[in-house]
Structure 1
């Protein structure tokens, strides 16, 4: 138990301070530590009582959501919390399985050619496009809209192949951004704000370029790791894991909605 306590103490010094006991227990097991979830909960309660109290105080009112199956709808959105520091995140998530289709850190998430390239890469990897794509009103998804409409041009519902709306109503990926911030990004936000507070970051081109050089690849690797960890978690209200449902829906009597060419 001492090794587990030591491991959790080290995690609390980094972005692990944002984890609840379930995520922390998963981190322990991934590091080769065999520990019960209840033991992790008790250790966290003693080592980080303030963090536990803050997490307990949160309440979420869930809205109704419907998707027929994997690849029924992909949700596109950008995450701008690190944008003042020159780090722009763009993501796409499957609305049904909540499997992350892609997550990219780059110096922009507003260029339609860049976002369109992400979309085409995802279509190539998954050997098809979704039935629908949900994005924001912004111009960054202009090429995605054109590509999706073209790929679904022969479908009866091709006029609704791309759905746009307010970013705040794009609930599936907004939920993912909340998860990402709670379990990872808040740590980086605070680290970079600390640089700003001690006047080591002014926000000019040189400083943003230095942040990109030092942190862009690192953050990309870190968030990809958390994406992989999320895929091994059970869906809310279900005993099933994210990845098997996404890749092998048939045994679960779920409709595969991917549009192939």
Structure 2
């Protein structure tokens, strides 16, 4: 790497630096999580085998232009950045920490005091609404051995057909979360979160992505979990046969209301993004932009809105995994760190319980599901997909990152789509 010491040799030994692009990405990620200097040094050692001193870390942060609260933006630009997040938050549920993390994910690091002052000046109604105790939610203590001891999974139906009440269109969600670290491992919008074939593929997405399974996979008692139970049990027996199955079951069914780790994630999703998204989606119906009786509209909804929602889910996962969980002295699970950092570097007495699995075995299990992953995740048929893709290309492929622009894109695309639905629809 280019620096004043090209040999990498100094008083602390030879340094094997990763490629600049990889190192820059890591340092920016640590900034998003607002990690302390010692935590950043720990992560560099764990993830890249790089042991350096604080002074060298400062040099690297400067070299790769890593944002910091000390590198202040001009006040007008910083204020505008905060107000844009306030404008996106229709229900005014997001507080100082949430807005700070959302901005941090975009590379804008602002001091908490500055954000608080902007909110107090320009959005005081939100502050009173979020006053501690105003909307108290009962909580229960969770106890785990460490990351990957238990993964919890469940579906989220706050955007299903009944909730949207728009003539049958639905946006079901399914998520998987690590109990101890609170890391969100997977969050995806699916055509149907009550189908065993679809959720079987969603389960396999996690070990495919992370290369591991937990000691115990916890899910509700729905029929959609059939493949999960078999796959998790088989993988545990193959890769960790010495674990006592009676004391630590491979898979466990619980009532949804008792599946508190993932249920808690839905609460935060709704407070951070969910209510805003639902309001925006229903606005198209209320304003007459969406008509369920139009033969094209339901298909275009199913083509467009899952894409928009998935981008928002990815943003929420990034926010959640990078946000710092409030320190609680008596909390048995992790607190005072970001979920991503705790998942990567659990502190004693916690221990990483991961069970590594091979990608080839995960691929083989996919072959046991009678419907392919592509088919189980398909929202529209091939003919409509081609027609909608052409219309999207014709309007210049606008960005789908803004929920507020969803219906404007819908209106632009709709007149350009030539499609004849099947007589059986």
TM-score (structure 1 length as normaliser) = 0.89
Give the Å deviation of 1:26.
2.9
User: Which of 14, 39, 43 is matched with 2:88 structurally?
Assistant: 14
Does the alignment pair 1:138 with 2:212?
no
Match status 1:43 vs 2:118: yes
Which consecutive residues of structure 2, in runs of 5 or more, have no partner in the other structure? 1-74, 162-168, 328-334, 358-425
Counterparts of 1:29 and 1:147 in 2: how far apart (Å)? 37
Give yes or no for the alignment of 1:247 onto 2:344: yes
Return 46-55 or 170-179, whichever deviates more: 46-55
**Partner in structure 2 of residue 162 of structure 1:** 251
| Distance apart, 1:228 and its partner CA | 1.5
Between the aligned partners of 1:220 and 1:62, the Cα distance in structure 2 is 28
In structure 1, distance between residues paired with 2:210 and 2:106: 30
Counterpart-to-counterpart distance in 2, 1:244 and 1:9: 29
2:105 and 2:98 mapped to 1: Cα distance?
Answer: 10
* SS of residue in 2 equivalent to 1:163: strand
Tell me the distance in 2 between the aligned counterparts of 1:162 and 1:125: 20
Q: With the length of structure 2 as denominator, give the TM-score of the two structures.
A: 0.57
Which moves more between the two structures, 23-32 or 138-147?
23-32
| Bigger Rg over Cα | 2
Alignment gaps of 5+ in structure 1: none
Matches of 1:124 and 1:30 in 2, distance apart?
A: 25
Q: Which runs of at least 4 in structure 1 moved beyond 3 Å after TM superposition? A: 15-18, 27-35, 199-208
Task: Give the structure 2 partner of residue 64 of structure 1.
Answer: 141
**CA distance change for structure 1 residues 32 and 103 in 2, over 3 Å: closer, same or farther?**
closer
Q: Specify the alignment match of 1:177 in structure 2.
A: 266
- The higher-RCO structure (CA 8 Å, 6+ apart) is 1
Contact 2:215 2:249 in 1 (8 A): no
